[in-house]
Structure 1
């Protein structure tokens, strides 16, 4: 699962690097893009461990469908 993040990070960082010419800024934005997945996973774990599983599952599926 984690290996697909490498080309994703490159796809985020390269256009930003060529647009700004700043290596640090492109790295930081790619890093923040990757960390958002970790935050989402932790939030999902928190939601499913605290609340009613059936209610949370419906909420998560509806939210995901709305985003897509």
Structure 2
């Protein structure tokens, strides 16, 4: 998870970009922070999905094969 300081900085830069604009350095920083945030978010979402099992109304496991393979990989590590 991203630190509170980094999240605060992302929000600070977003507000500044809407009001006064960003310098080139600030725009680069914002881009790097956003990329780090997205990477962290995607990783967290993937870990959440690895714990999901999909069951149809009849009680049959209909979890997609790709998700099952990811779960198996997680168990091996």
Identify the TM-score tier after normalising by the shorter chain.
0.3 to 0.5
TM-score scaled to structure 1, two decimals?
A: 0.44
Larger radius of gyration: 2
Which structure's residues are more often helix, by fraction?
A: 1
